[in-house]
Amino acid sequence: MKKTVLIGALALAGVTAGGAAAATLDDVKARGHLNCGISTGLVGFASQDAQGEWQGFDVAVCRAVAAAIFGDPTAVEFSPVTNKVRFEVLNSGEIDMLSRNTTWTYSRDVDLKLEFAGVNYYDGQGFLVPKELSVTSAKELDGATVCIQSGTTTELNLADFFRVNNISYTPVPIATAAEAQQQYLAGACDVYTTDASGLAATRAAFEDPSAHVILPEIISKEPLGPLVRHGDNEWGDIVRWSLNALIAAEELGVTSANVEELSAGTSNPEINRLLGSEGNLGEMIGLENDWAKNIIMAGGNYGEIFERYIGENTPIGLARGLNAQWTNGGLLYSPPFR
């Protein structure tokens, strides 16, 4: 008798657990908002304005997914998570997706049972040094002290790079980009290494940016993108194609300014399919047919978001580089909406 009760309880727990894992979209719809994990603060990618509104490049992905589901980019609860706990928080189900400058790696994808929905920023690890050190190449950094954020892929890349080149270094572990900047300026380390986008942002905030150089070596590939838990492919599709819609919209010339007009129907069938005036792509994915239109209405296409938060006219001043459309020599390439 006792055994049956126990088995019954276990089965019930299994069913509820399985049910929760399977239909994230239903959970999100029932809840009325998306739970999105973001960085606790990264210049240009996630920060708060004086009114407490989250904004930034990674935040825009969360808003895009919320717009796709609810037609309302504000239907998001942001959970800022640190490097150290981000995967646990996602796996434990406290958030539905993570959009937090996270590098897509083999082991994270396979071993941590996560699913990357694509790449929203192609980055690479670089080095920032004071000009007065007169170093011109990262290979000359033998014996340097290096500021590095712990618990990240940058830490591992750094070890690899120095081992391959047979030179030594002393790591100075730090927690956030702001702390790194302070430590570096205070002379606690000779070199600061992180993704090149972060280096550019850090240098831009210096009082005298010209006194510091970013070395030419980019020692790693850092494809950063949003991710979800393994095991709910429908949900993964929604995040993946929300991101693709941002990228495709830029390629097709759909912007927040003209999306309303274009959604009435155009001579380009792919735009029509994307914006829902033709075909039933929205229905296939379990959303309204104008889901992609809502995404573009909310924050514009990929290029617009890039320009607003991290582009050349912002204090961060990043060039598109690898993040240009494939038609412009970059790596951004959305599979067709068909």
Select from 88-96, 137-145, 267-275, 325-333 the region that touches other proteins (CB under 8 A).
88-96
- CA 325, 326, 331, 333 dihedral sign is positive
Give me the least distance between CB of 61 and other proteins, in Å please. Answer: 17
Give whichever of 112 and 297 is closer to other proteins, judged by the CB atom: 112
The number of residues that bind other proteins (CB under 8 A) is 47
CB of 35 to other proteins, least distance (A): 10
Q: Which of 114, 110, 111, 113 has its CA nearest to residue 100?
A: 114
Q: Where are the alpha helices (DSSP H) in the chain?
A: 2-22, 24-31, 57-70, 86-91, 106-110, 153-164, 177-185, 196-204, 233-252, 259-262, 269-275, 281-285, 291-299, 302-309
Tell whether the torsion through CA atoms of 100, 102, 104 and 105 is positive or negative.
Answer: negative
2-61 residues in contact with other proteins (CB under 8 A) are: 13, 16-17, 20-21, 39-44, 46-52, 54
For residue 93, state whether it binds other proteins (rule: CB under 8 A).
yes
DSSP 17-41: HHHHHH-HHHHHHHHTSEEEEEES-
Among 9, 11, 85, 159, binds other proteins (CB under 8 A): 85
Residues 264 to 323 in contact with other proteins, rule: CB under 8 A: 314-316
- Cβ atoms of 288 and 282 within 8 Å: the answer is yes
Q: What string marks each residue from 183 to 222 as x (binds other proteins by CB under 8 A) or -? A: ------------------xx-xxxx---------------
Give the Cα separation of 272 and 288 in Å (integer). 14
**Least distance to other proteins from the beta carbon of 51, Å?**
8
Report which residue type is found at 305.
Answer: I
> Which lies closer to other proteins via its Cβ, residue 55 or residue 145?
55
H runs (alpha helix) in 122-187: 153-164, 177-185
Choose one: 3-11, 81-89, 111-119, 330-338; the region binding other proteins (CB under 8 A): 81-89
146 is a contact residue toward other proteins (CB under 8 A): no
C-beta neighbour count of 277 within 10 angstroms: 17
Binding stretches for other proteins (CB under 8 A): 13, 16-17, 20-21, 39-44, 46-52, 54, 77, 79-82, 84-85, 88-89, 92-94, 175-179, 181-182, 201-202, 204-207, 314-316
